[in-house]
Amino acid sequence: MAVSCLVYELGSIDYTSALYLQNALLSARQAGTIRDTILLLQHSNVITIGASGTEEHIVVPHRVLEEENIPIIHVDRGGSITYHGPGQLIGYFIMNLRTIGMSLRQFLFNLEEVVISTLDDYSIKAHRDPNYRGVWVGNDKICAVGLRLDHGCTKHGFALNVSTDLRYFEYIVPCSIRDKGVTSMSSLLGNRIKPEEISVCLLDHCADIFDLSYQYGTEEPFHGNCEYVPA
């Protein structure tokens, strides 16, 4: 039987507010007071550094980031350093792996498969790299994937470059990989696509690949003392 899941499309949210929201939802999911939840959103410009990352992979002076109001945030997801910003579709997954009967490795594989299938619908042939997580087109990463597992439940997820301004990736060594590049759907297709345009396609692949049934949340995703402010 398909697992029932709630989906919230939140528009643009600053990274810190979204992280507070994830943490609140994670606690609620662990307590069994909410269903599995997917958040789809975009972030304002930010550089995040995961468990295996370091600020040594920022290649511009910090004053450049300060002048452009790009914060650096260390987070508890797996992976290294990446950039988030407008035009990037972010998917955060607050899901109980015990409920869906899946290992973390399989969950990561399935996340990549969702993105690969979505891109295929747009005639973009993407693939996995045997040495690195994420989704790739040729030698360029189009989607970063990073998760944290906490008492059987996941948080964080993927970041798919839809119409992202790729020049910001030049400020870092993306994912600490020096010999590969980054790309986006819009740059590959030659026309600008908005992240919200591909949400339904992506969710349908989530439903199929993860064996989920989903419905959209009609209220704020959390009513506790976690406040989030749309950017």
81-95: average pLDDT:
96
State the amino acid at position 116 in one-letter form: I
Q: Residues 175, 81: contact at Cβ < 8 Å? A: yes
Between CA 12 and CA 15 the distance in angstroms is 9
Name 77's Cβ contacts closer than 8 Å, sequence gap at least 6.
Answer: 48, 50, 51, 146, 147, 148, 155, 156
* The architecture CATH gives domain 3-216: 2-Layer Sandwich (3.30)
Band of residue 228 on the pLDDT scale cut at 50, 70, 90: very low
How big is the chain by its Cα radius of gyration, in Å? 17
179: confidence class by pLDDT, cuts 50, 70, 90: confident
Evaluate whether 38 touches 111 at the Cβ level (below 8 Å).
no
Mind listing the pLDDT tens digit for each residue in 149-165?
999 999 999 999 999 99
Active site residue 206: no
Element (H, E) at 100: helix 97-100
- Catalytic residue, candidates 175, 201, 206, 226: 175
User: What is the structure's pLDDT at 226?
Assistant: 44
Q: Quote the crossing angle between the two packed helices 104-121 and 199-210, to the nearest 10°.
A: 140
- Tell how far CA 136 is from the center of its chain: 15
Parallel, antiparallel, or unpaired for β 181-182 and 140-150?
Answer: parallel
| Locus of tokens 């993407």 | 126
- In this predicted structure, the answer to whether residue 178 has a pLDDT above a threshold of 90 is no
Q: Is the pLDDT of residue 231 over 70?
A: no
